């Protein structure tokens, strides 16, 4: 029996055990729009698409031939020892690079803090698919003895967090949560919870993904989940548009440094925003499709608002999960209406930056939370591009095609994963 939203809403949501405040002090990202925060954020504000024809391999056998690839990325410069980069899967290379950027941006001197109080939670929805593909091919062509001894540690989804901790000597809580496309938000949210509980003072957290590979493209293609608008790649990712035909794969990493407020203050850190709420739920509905009534995400949103002590009308901007699929965009619209009531269509601005980056899978939530933080910092809401004929079932203010300049005090990021995993993260202007 499935619970209706009205039934769930009648139950009180949990309260936090701690009033420790958590702030965002460092940002690192690598996306199809650029290999740093500045380039990525400028691209999002300009409404620029990072989608193009696949160059990592020959896409001609596939129905979908387009993706949001990271370009001109040199992993060696981000590792303390260059050979360690070559012993890492591409998703790990992206994770380490974004983490390095976030740590440097935060200004934290890792040698001057208690390493047992500094944790790492940087996950991946799929893990080292490139390593698995390559070594399986080696096994088939050359036999088991030629398979690399680094195969297993290179492909597992937790190894990015392990390597980041080794690079910086961070001995605090170290783990990852793997929830497909909700991975980043769950890792950021649970890191927030651990700091609130008092078991750590700081975290490097977020997600990374590098699944633009033959097996990744074939798998999603067989599900009929991908856009085949190959002749016009930059308009292929079109969330909320009536003529959308599937999502576009992306790759990259989005990582933030979060800290307990007094820990950040003592070292004079620059604070981007405050992380104030986090909500989690499950659809308990289907392997890959969202629950059509939107009740699962609505509950996660309501939980994040309660933790953040905010009313629905306090939220100015919502960065939607909206991937550009028929079922998903409509279900999320219903969830937003359930959670926000009249505010959903009277004041709330909702955009999907996946229209520009493609769907970065396990990295999506990290990059999209960064978009929320930068919207607060710069008073700019990034648009949903490629909205030519808005789907009447997605009747929200989706900030079509052009960014808006206006103050943003509170913003929310949604991420949902195959298996019915829902995660919402709430951020506010720091006061």
Active site residues: 181, 321, 359
83: left (phi over 0), alpha (psi -120 to 50) or beta: alpha
Helix, strand or coil, per DSSP, at residue 405 = strand
Alpha-carbon dihedral 393, 399, 400, 406, rounded to 10 degrees: 160
Phi, psi of 260 (to 5 degrees): -65, 140
Residue 182 near residue 416 (C-beta atoms within 8 A): yes
Angstrom distance (rounded) from CA 259 to CA 271:
10
Residue 233 near residue 53 (C-beta atoms within 8 A): yes
Nearest to 413 by CA among 358, 346, 363: 363
Return the bridge partners of 123, or none: 207
E-assigned strand segments in 31-111 = 52-53, 66-67
Angstrom distance (rounded) from CA 69 to CA 31:
8
Residue 251 near residue 68 (C-beta atoms within 8 A): yes
The Cβ of residue 80 has, within 10 Å, a number of other Cβ atoms equal to 11
Phi, psi of 360 (to 5 degrees): -85, 15
Angstrom distance (rounded) from CA 309 to CA 428:
11
Helix, strand or coil, per DSSP, at residue 258 = strand
DSSP 75: G
Angstrom distance (rounded) from CA 282 to CA 401:
32
Angstrom distance (rounded) from CA 393 to CA 326:
10
């Amino acid at each position: 029996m499935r619970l209706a939203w009205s039934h769930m809403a009648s139950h009180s949501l949990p309260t936090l055990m701690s009033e420790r405040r958590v702030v965002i002090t460092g940002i690192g990202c690598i996306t199809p729009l650029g290999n740093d925060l500045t380039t990525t954020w400028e691209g999002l504000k300009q409404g620029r698409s990072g989608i193009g024809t696949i160059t990592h391999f020959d896409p001609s056998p596939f129905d979908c031939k387009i993706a949001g690839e990271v370009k001109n990325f040199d992993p060696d410069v981000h590792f303390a020892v260059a050979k360690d980069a070559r012993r890492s899967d591409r998703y790990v290379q992206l994770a380490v690079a974004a983490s390095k950027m976030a740590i440097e941006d935060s200004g934290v001197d890792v040698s001057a803090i208690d390493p047992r109080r500094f944790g790492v939670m940087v996950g991946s929805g799929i893990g080292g698919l490139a390593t698995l593909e390559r070594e399986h091919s080696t096994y088939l062509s050359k036999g088991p003895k030629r398979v690399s001894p680094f195969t297993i540690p290179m492909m597992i989804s937790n190894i990015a967090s392990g390597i980041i901790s080794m690079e910086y000597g961070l001995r605090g809580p170290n783990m990852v949560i793997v929830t497909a496309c909700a991975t980043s938000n769950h890792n950021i949210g649970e890191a927030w919870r651990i700091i609130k509980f008092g078991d750590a003072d700081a975290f490097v957290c977020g997600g990374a993904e590098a699944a633009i590979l033959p097996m990744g493209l074939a798998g999603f293609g067989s599900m009929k989940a991908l856009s085949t608008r190959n002749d016009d790649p930059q308009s292929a990712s079109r969330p909320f548009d009536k003529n959308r035909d599937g999502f576009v794969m992306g790759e990259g990493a989005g990582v933030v440094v979060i800290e307990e407020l007094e820990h950040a203050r003592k070292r004079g850190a620059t604070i981007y925003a405050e992380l104030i709420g986090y909500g989690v739920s499950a659809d308990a509905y289907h392997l890959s499709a969202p629950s059509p009534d939107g009740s699962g995400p609505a509950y996660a949103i309501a939980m994040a608002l309660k933790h953040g002590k905010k009313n629905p009308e306090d939220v100015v901007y919502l960065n939607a999960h909206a991937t550009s699929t028929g079922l998903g965009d409509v279900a999320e619209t219903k969830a937003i209406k359930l959670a926000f009531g009249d505010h959903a269509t009277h004041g709330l601005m909702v955009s999907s930056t996946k229209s520009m980056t493609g769907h970065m899978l396990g990295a999506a939530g990290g990059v999209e939370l960064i978009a929320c933080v930068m919207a607060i910092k710069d008073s700019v809401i990034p648009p949903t591009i490629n909205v030519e004929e808005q789907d009447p079932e997605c009747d929200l203010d989706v900030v079509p095609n052009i960014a808006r300049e206006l103050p943003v005090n509170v913003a929310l990021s949604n991420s949902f994963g195959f298996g019915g995993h829902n995660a919402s993260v709430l951020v506010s202007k720091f006061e």
